[in-house]
Amino acid sequence: MEIPSERLSLLDEKLTSRVNSSRSALEEGAIINRQDLNDFLLFTDSQWELSQFIKDEKLKTKKNMFYINESIELPNLILNDCTHVNCFQHRMTFESIPSVFWKTLIAIEDQRFLEHKGVDYKSILRALWYDLKSLKIVQGGSTITQQLVKNLFLSNEKTITRKIKELIMAIYIERNFTKEAVLESYFNEFEWGSLQGIKVKGLYSACLYYFKKKPSEIDLYEAAILIGLLKGPYYYHPLKYPQRLISRTEVVYKKLIELGFIRSNMNLRWSDSKWNQWFSFLKSNEKGKTLSIFWEIKKDSILSPYENFVFLKKAKELENQINNENISIKAIIGLVSNPEKKFSYYSREQRNQEIALSKERHQIGSVIKPFIYKVLRTKFTDLEELFSIDPLELTLKSGKWSPGEAGSLTSGEVSLKKALTKSLNRPLIRAATDFGFDELEDQLDKWFENLQKPLIEYPAQLLGAIELSVDELFQKYVRFFNEECKYRPIESNIINLLSDPSQTTISKMVGKYLKRHSFFGKTGTTNKGLNNWFIFFDGVKVGVIWVGWEASQNIKDLKLYGSTTAFKLFQGFYLNNGLRFNEIDCLQTTIP
């Protein structure tokens, strides 16, 4: 019989530290969410003690936040060893596996593991006796080594041929590899079911996904739960069959007492309330998918691993809050000085991200307005001219057209500056009429290749009735920021006019921390609130975020607005990414 040598290499692999070499840092003066940092550290190669940093006053706690009093370099993220999609695994050396696990495994599955040579003939005879008495397979008699063989090389079919192969290969493995190598491979390669849509492979993953702990932090009763789960991760799944798992854990626990691993006077059993608390904890994590994001973190990105993690986590939290499977999130963040290097995100993992971001187009809404005002400024140089906000009506070949207003202002006059910051429609259309639709069309044609002409017959395009992909809009805004940052005087620079969050369309949503900072931000809403945008620029990074409905446009109750969804994602990301806020200043921004 041919032995699959390529799979046997798992037993002989010399494991070393396998980490993502990209580093992260928390900058002095920044604030972060405490739970975000705790979750991130679970997937790093360091046994960080947050209490020590708090004691040294590098971190100051306030409710659920950390204030960074001194810049701290974060440890490396460990690498995902699983080659499958939606799977997490991190292999451990035998020396790093706490003894409670392999001692418990031996006690439950194979008490003569240290004595036999791969096959326990006494167990086989005992199992055969019970099987003959019952006239069916009741006991398997498999050793830990045989279980490993079946997991690595064979199927689960119950045939004599497969069993013979299993016996031969188990003996071969024990002749060529140490007991430690067998246990190491066992704890690295076995699956512990699935949580948060992720296949949990290996002990390290099991500890993280079931308990949000590293293996060294697992207590004896938690170890009993995990070893109990190994018998059948799906049969004993805690969210589907909680009572089965409770009963199985009790079997493991009693065995540990019987064998002297736990003293009989030690009561480590969980109470009903403790079990219910854990089930609730798993349900919450399953719904929020807070740990499912680590396999999505990109190695090559303009964002550090911690920034990457925070963005993904806030995106998952937003998806959970919206709670609608037809809502998607798309985003691109890049450097204004090097737009080819960028971070991209698409929430629908089963679809092609490149097509979704580069090919699929959406109406852009009010995020077109900075481009319009850039052109209008060539005539209305200081943007102080006043225009009426009263209703107006244009006569087109297709019929009468009247632009509406979403805000509270419905009459009077406002300056073009205020019309821009408050994203008003009617003053913009009146200014476009004064400017001249033909000239405006010639100028906008340089920015928007798919502009419908003549513009005078399609004025709704000035309010965003143009479709672009997320990447197309990103590229146009990179060019826009490059040009605007060279524009003088600063008083009528479009970036400057949209860089005070207390004066723009996000004024009611921006919190007290972000309100103190200066950054370009523009919202956009289309399709009666089903799609929305937020464009931002902090002087270094450009970001385009789209949140919208990706199904038939026939829903009436769902309303999405850039200030409450796309902006909310930006806000969660920038408030918790561990970096000081970069104050935008075009006079200081260096762009080639």
User: What is the rounded distance in angstroms from the CA atom of residue 166 to the CA atom of residue 142?
Assistant: 9
- 343 strand-pairing partners: 333
**CA neighbor of 68 nearest in space, from 11, 24, 113, 131:** 24
- DSSP-assigned beta bridge partners for residue 520: 537
CB distance 103 to 94 below 8 Å: no
- One-letter amino acid for residue 59 of the chain: L
Phi, then psi, of 332 in degrees rounded to 5 = -135, 130
Among 258, 203, 262, smallest CA distance to 233 is for 203
Q: Within a 13 Å sphere around the CA of 22, how many CA atoms are in the beta-carbon half?
A: 14
The Cα–Cα gap between 306 and 30 comes to: 13
Is residue 164 within 8 A of residue 127, CB to CB? The reply is no
Task: Report the C-alpha dihedral over residues 550, 553, 558, 560, rounded to 10 degrees.
Answer: 60
- From residue 342, alpha-carbon distances to 177, 295, 452, 575 in Å are 46, 18, 31, 20
Radius of gyration of the chain measured on its C-alpha atoms: 31
DSSP assignment, residue 269? P
Give me the domains of the chain, ranges plus CATH numbers: 1-18+79-283 (1.10.3810.10), 21-74 (no CATH), 297-364+466-592 (3.40.710.10)
Q: Does an H or E element contain 363, and which?
A: strand 362-363
In contact, 218 and 98? CB cutoff 8 Å:
yes
Q: pLDDT value at position 138?
A: 43
Backbone φ and ψ of 136, nearest 5°: -160, 165
φ, ψ for residue 194, nearest 5 deg: -140, 135
The upper half-sphere exposure of residue 151, i.e. CA atoms within 13 Å in the direction of its Cβ, equals 23
pTM, two decimals, is 0.85
The secondary structure of 461-475 as a DSSP string is GGGT--EE-HHHHHH
pLDDT along the chain (592 residues), means of 10: 60 66 85 90 80 82 90 88 87 92 89 79 57 47 81 70 77 87 92 92 95 92 94 94 96 88 85 96 84 76 91 90 86 92 89 92 96 96 94 94 82 93 96 96 95 96 96 97 83 90 91 88 86 93 93 55 78 93 63 50
Q: Which residue has the tokens 């950054």?
A: 519
CB 513 within 8 A of CB 574: no
Q: How far lies 363's CA from each of 190, 338, 351, in Å?
A: 48, 26, 21
Question: CB within 8 A of 478, min separation 6: which ones?
Answer: 334, 336, 339, 542
Q: Which two tokens stand for residue 33?
A: 């969410």
List C-alpha distances in Å: 329 to 200, 253, 356, 476, 564. 26, 46, 10, 20, 13
C-beta separation of 224 from 100 below 8 A: no
d(CA 427, CA 430): 5
Q: Is 144 helix (H, G, I), strand (E, B) or coil?
A: helix
